[in-house]
Chains A and B, each alone.
Chain A
Amino acid sequence: MQIAKSWRRQPSNLRLEGTRCTACGHLAFPATIRCRQCGQAEFDVYQFTGFGEVVVSSIVYEAPRDFGEHVPYCAAVVRLEEGISIATMITDVDPEDVSPGMPVEMVTRRIAAQGDKGPILYAYKFAPLLENQ
Chain B
Amino acid sequence: MKPNLAVGIVGYGGYVPRYRIDAAEVNRVWKDSAMPSGRSFKAVPGPDEDTATIAIQAARNAMRMAQVSPAKLRAIWFGTESKPYAVKPTSTIVADAIGALPHANAADWEFACKPGTEAMQAATAMVGSGMAPYAMCGGADTAQARPGDILEYNTGAGGAAFILGVAEESLAVLEASTSYVTNTPDFFRREGQPYPSHGQRFTGKPAYFHHIQAAVKELLNETGASPDDFRYAVFHQPNYQFPLKVANRLGFPKEKVVPFILTSQIGNTYSGAALLGLAKALDQAEPGDKILLASYGSGAGSDAFCFTVTDKIKEIRERGVPIDKYLKRTKLIDYAVYARYRGKLRLH
A residues with CB within 8 A of B: 10, 14-15, 47, 69-70, 91-92, 94, 107-111, 115, 120, 122, 125, 130-131, 133
Whether a CB of chain A sits under 8 angstroms from the CB of B102 is no
Q: Is B50 an interface residue (CB 8 A)?
A: yes
Partner of B49, one of A10, A94, A110: A110
Give every chain B residue within 8 A of A69 (Cβ-Cβ): 47
Contacts of A10 in B (CB 8 A): 96
Is B329's CB under 8 angstroms from A70's CB? no
The answer to whether B48 and A130 have CB atoms under 8 Å apart is no
Q: What are the residues of chain A within 8 A of B48 when measuring CB–CB?
A: 70, 91, 109-111, 125
Query: With contacts A107-B57, A130-B325, A133-B325 known, is A122 near B99, CB below 8 A?
Result: no
Residues of A within 8 A of B18 (CB): 92
Chain B positions within 8 Å of A107 at CB level = 53, 57
Complex Cα distance A29/B96, Å?
A: 18
* A130 interface neighbour in B46, B99, B329, Cβ under 8 Å: B329
Task: Give a binary string over B48-65; 1 marks a CB under 8 Å from any A CB, 0 the rest.
Answer: 111011001100000000
* Other-chain residue from B47, B97, B321, B331 in contact with A14 (beta carbon distance below 8 A): B97
Closest to B17 in A: A92
Pick the contact of A133 from B50, B96, B329 — CB < 8 Å?
B329
Pair B97/A15 contact, Cβ less than 8 Å: yes
Contacts of A133 in B (CB 8 A): 325, 328-329
Give Cα A133 to B335, complex, Å: 24
Q: Which residue of B lies closest to A113 (CB)?
A: B84
Chain B residues with CB under 8 Å of A131's CB are 325
A111 to B84, CA, bound (A): 13
Q: How large is the interface on B (under 10, 10 to 19, 20 to 34, 35 or more residues)?
A: 20 to 34
Q: Which residues of A contact B321 (CB under 8 A)?
A: 130
Measured between beta carbons, the chain B residues less than 8 angstroms from A115 are: 348
Partner of B53, one of A15, A70, A108, A130: A108
Nearest Cβ in chain B — how far from A48, in angstroms?
13
Known: A110-B49, A122-B93. 4 other contacts (CB 8 A): A14-B93, A15-B98, A107-B57, A130-B321
Residues of B within 8 A of A (CB): 18, 46-50, 52-53, 56-57, 84-85, 93, 96-99, 321, 325-326, 328-329, 331, 348
25 contacts between A and B (CB under 8 A): A14-B93, A14-B97, A69-B47, A70-B47, A107-B57, A108-B53, A108-B57, A108-B97, A109-B46, A109-B48, A110-B48, A110-B52, A110-B53, A111-B48, A115-B348, A120-B50, A120-B85, A122-B56, A122-B93, A122-B97, A125-B48, A130-B325, A130-B326, A133-B328, A133-B329
- Chain A residue numbers with a CB within 8 Å of B98 are 15
Q: Is there an interface contact between B99 and A15, defined as CB atoms closer than 8 Å?
A: yes
In the bound complex, how far is the Cα of B57 from the Cα of A14, in angstroms? 11
Contacting residues, chain B, for A125 (C-beta < 8 A)? 48
CB-CB nearest in chain B for A112? B48
A-chain residues with CB within 8 Å of residue B52 when the two chains form the complex: 110, 120, 122
Residues in chain B near residue A122, CB distance under 8 A? 52-53, 56, 93, 97
Option from A14, A47, A91, A120 in Cβ contact (under 8 Å) with B46: A91
Flag if A120 contacts B97 (CB, 8 Å): no
Contact A109 B49 (CB under 8 A): yes
* Residue of B with least CB distance to A14: B97
Q: Which residue of A lies closest to B48 (CB)?
A: A109
A110 to B84, CA, bound (A): 10
How far apart are the CA atoms of A80 and B328 in the complex, in Å? 27
Provide the residues of chain B in CB contact with A91, threshold 8 Å: 46, 48
Assembly CA distance A70 to B46 (angstroms): 10
Q: Which residues of A contact B47 (CB under 8 A)?
A: 69-70
Complex Cα–Cα for A120 and B98 (A):
18
B18 to chain A: closest residue by CB: A92
Roughly how many angstroms separate A96 CA and B310 CA in the complex, as a whole number? 46
Contact in complex: A110, B50 (CB < 8 Å): yes
Once the chains are docked, how many angstroms separate the CA of A91 from the CA of B325? 17
Residue numbers in B under 8 Å from A130 (CB-CB): 321, 325-326, 329
Contact assessment for A120 and B84 in the assembled complex, using a CB-CB cutoff below 8 Å: yes
Q: Which 9 A-B pairs have the closest CB atoms?
A: A109-B48, A14-B97, A108-B56, A133-B329, A110-B48, A92-B18, A14-B96, A108-B97, A109-B53
- Residue on A with the closest CB to B325? A130
Choose among B46, B84, B85, B93 the residue that contacts A92 (Cβ–Cβ < 8 A): B46
